Chain A
Amino acid sequence: MQFHVNPSGELPIYRQIMRQITDAIAGGRVAAGDQLPSHRDLAAQLVIAPLTVKKAYDELEREGLITTQRGRGTYVSESLPVVDAAQRRERLREAAQQLLTQAALSGVPLAEVVRLLKEIQKGMKS
């Protein structure tokens, strides 16, 4: 998978890495059991401090999304954890809010937004 970070972005760099990995898992771009780059390799690739990548990996491991096997590497977990339903809903609500604001500003009607969502979902599966 491809990573990219923006140091002056709204989120701290370790959060940006966490988000990209969770997005890739959610979108099916990486599958259970897939190997992730080592934290040192990813740090060199992104030109950021190795401890920053380690922090992102540690947090994701705590959330059960990835597992590190000592001496072997870091992998996407075989069984992904079930996120607390309320928390999941809240996150989704925030994202939906942003999406609808954007749609309103661009004058895109709701039906069009829904069509777009379906189109994107199709893309994620393939």
Chain B
Amino acid sequence: MKALEFENIHRAYRRGADVLKGITFSVDAGEVVGLVGKNGAGKTTLIRIAMGMLEAQTGHVRVLGLDPRTDALDMKRRVGYVSEDQILPEFLTVGAVVRLHRALFPTWDDQLERRLRERFELAPRARIKTLSKGQARQVALLCAIAHRPEVLLLDEPAGGLDPAARREFLETSIQLLNEAGSTILFSSHYMTDVERMAGRIVMIHEGCLLLDGALDDLREQYSLALLPRGPVGWHDRLIGLSGCISVREQSDSLHAVFRLEPQQCRSLLQRELHISDARCLSITLDDMFVELVEGRP
């Protein structure tokens, strides 16, 4: 069974302004998927649909085989969720928020809760409103994982945190992966965090799926070619080459992404366009993101 299934998901907040335009992908149990895209690409909407906080207007979503709208309780007991703009009740203490969650989840692990509380140095009597942003996120993370969820949905979980808090967050997530092998779908703008955590990347842009693949394949089977701008029409000729997935003009050069290893890319350019001074490099996730999102086929 798939841990997560999105099939042809459409969602608009008002008529004519589509946020998601037919997203389809699924996630196997135990996979860690990094969801990347610009602000406004639709990442948050997609995660909220999986959580049952929003409804897809068309399409079909399943979490652990359950419908997040009609099987909400069963589903939520097996899922953990943290988001950047999650709001915890300000006037409650840390202890009270944790107790509330403990009561909701039959699989709550007291030992794990204690371990996380000690690790995060959270004082049970501290009121939520007195916590720093990082500490509040740690409370949210504790509440999201102490019941050992089978699926973890993280919406920009490290957003707004300092590097030390981000690292702490990653360490905790990796510990959970080590112990439980949970399935994780997380959105992030920090590509280095994505590289550390994810085995697979799903990139969305303007509500459409732009790229879906194993991270290592993206790093090893794609390349970035840097060329002088050349005569008019090169842009189209590059796009016409098999394996070329995007071209972007950048001051006086052209950047093209190919689904080819750098060596193959170099010989293709030489053979087809007689370009011998192209620089063909393996591509980092950061570059891939900018090239695909800013450059268009």
Q: Which parts of B112-171 form the interface with A (CB within 8 Å)?
A: 167, 170-171
In the complex, 29 of the A-B residue pairs with CB atoms within 8 angstroms, ordered by the A residue number, are: A7-B191, A7-B195, A7-B196, A8-B191, A8-B192, A8-B195, A8-B284, A10-B282, A11-B219, A12-B216, A13-B196, A14-B216, A43-B177, A44-B178, A47-B167, A47-B171, A47-B174, A47-B196, A48-B174, A48-B196, A48-B197, A49-B32, A49-B177, A49-B196, A49-B197, A49-B198, A50-B178, A51-B32, A52-B199
Cα-based distance from A47 to B177 in the complex (angstroms): 11
Cα-based distance from A98 to B215 in the complex (angstroms): 27
Q: Tell whether B277 is near chain A: CB-to-CB under 8 Å.
A: no
Which residues from B are CB-within-8-Å of A7? 191-193, 195-196
A-B contact count (CB 8 A): 52
Cα-based distance from A11 to B167 in the complex (angstroms): 21
A12 lies within 8 A of B192 (CB): no
Count residues on chain A whose CB falls below 8 Å from chain B CBs. Answer: 18
**What is the interface of chain A, defined by CB distance below 8 A to chain B?**
7-8, 10-15, 40, 43-44, 47-52, 55
A49 lies within 8 A of B174 (CB): yes
Q: How far is the CB of A60 from chain B (nearest CB, A)?
A: 15
B199 lies within 8 A of A12 (CB): no
Q: How far is the CB of B70 from chain A (nearest CB, A)?
A: 33
Cα-based distance from A14 to B170 in the complex (angstroms): 18
**What is the interface of chain B, defined by CB distance below 8 A to chain A?**
32, 167, 170-171, 174-175, 177-178, 191-193, 195-199, 215-216, 219-220, 282, 284-286
Chain B, interface SS category:
helix
Cα-based distance from A29 to B197 in the complex (angstroms): 29
Cα-based distance from A56 to B229 in the complex (angstroms): 39
Which residues from A are CB-within-8-Å of B170? 47
The answer to whether residues A12 and B167 also contact, given A7-B196, A47-B174, A51-B199 and a CB cut-off of 8 A, is no
Q: How far is the CB of B170 from chain A (nearest CB, A)?
A: 5
> Knowing that A8-B284, A49-B196 are A-B contacts, what are 6 other residue pairs whose CB atoms are under 8 Å apart, sorted by A's residue number?
A7-B196, A8-B286, A12-B215, A44-B175, A47-B170, A50-B174
Q: How far is the CB of B194 from chain A (nearest CB, A)?
A: 8
A43 lies within 8 A of B174 (CB): yes
A43 lies within 8 A of B178 (CB): yes
Which residues from A are CB-within-8-Å of B177? 43, 49-50
Q: How far is the CB of B238 from chain A (nearest CB, A)?
A: 24
Q: How far is the CB of B57 from chain A (nearest CB, A)?
A: 34
Q: How far is the CB of A3 from chain B (nearest CB, A)?
A: 14
Which residues from B are CB-within-8-Å of A15? 220
Cα-based distance from A93 to B82 in the complex (angstroms): 49
Cα-based distance from A104 to B285 in the complex (angstroms): 32
Quick one: which of B170, B175, B195 has the most chain A CB within 10 A? Answer: B195
A13 lies within 8 A of B171 (CB): no
Which residues from B are CB-within-8-Å of A10? 282, 284
Which residues from A are CB-within-8-Å of B175? 44
Cα-based distance from A49 to B32 in the complex (angstroms): 8
Q: How far is the CB of A33 from chain B (nearest CB, A)?
A: 26
Q: How far is the CB of A97 from chain B (nearest CB, A)?
A: 14
Cα-based distance from A52 to B178 in the complex (angstroms): 12
Which residues from B are CB-within-8-Å of A52? 199
Q: How far is the CB of B183 from chain A (nearest CB, A)?
A: 12
